[in-house]
Chain A
Amino acid sequence: EAGVTQFPSHSVIEKGQTVTLRCDPISGHDNLYWYRRVMGKEIKFLLHFVKESKQDESGMPNNRFLAERTGGTYSTLKVQPAELEDSGVYFCASSRTDFQETQYFGPGTRLLVL
């Protein structure tokens, strides 16, 4: 069974540009989560999808961040326009049906905004 995959693995962009991150969860997993780790700090929750619906987006920093999960499969996280403080590692995780089941993480996307 394939694990959670994320693309790209790295992205370097300039302030003001747009970047789109993609996450493919484990097949059959209803729950998809986005997290972010800014350098040296804890991993913070961004949002949670159940299938194609947003269950909780309380962690989204501001309206420059837009997440979608069309069709309940893969998800995208777009940052537009990117700011310096958006730099960090963006992790995606998925779990089966129950919210409290184990979340399996992808390798992360390292975003650097210059």
Chain B
Amino acid sequence: AQKVTQAQTEISVVEKEDVTLDCVYETRDTTYYLFWYKQPPSGELVFLIRRNSFDEQNEISGRYSWNFQKSTSSFNFTITASQVVDSAVYFCALSEPSSNTGKLIFGQGTTLQVKP
């Protein structure tokens, strides 16, 4: 069965520290998509990244980077030199084309608090 696990419920760091948010997924499909969303205090879900299962290249976008490893079924998210504005709940999600729907399966979310 498909499942996404974000084992870290809450993380607290001091500004400028690096922080990694873990995401482990389960799927029987060979084709699937992984996503990260950010939910700031204002409440909306903000799209960060979408990655398909055939592209294992790591991605970097400014202070954000993502490490996709199929061997360990993980899609971890690292924020370098964290800032107070990074404080939010971060969700990892999975979708499977074989389900014939685009529904996302979310992890429980990781609350990140960045202290000044």
**Which A residues are closer than 8 A to B by beta carbons?**
31, 33, 35, 41-45, 48, 55-56, 59, 89, 91, 93, 95, 98-108, 110
Contacts and interface: CB of A to CB of B under 8 A. Distances in A.
A105 B44 contact: yes
A31 B102 contact: yes
Given A106-B44, A107-B42, A101 B108 contact: no
A48 to B, nearest CB: 5
Contact of A33 (B42, B102, B107): B102
Contacts of A95: 102
Contacts, number: 70
B70 interface: no
A112 to B, nearest CB: 14
Contact of B91 (A43, A45, A99, A104): A43
A103 B48 CA distance: 11
B72 to A, nearest CB: 21
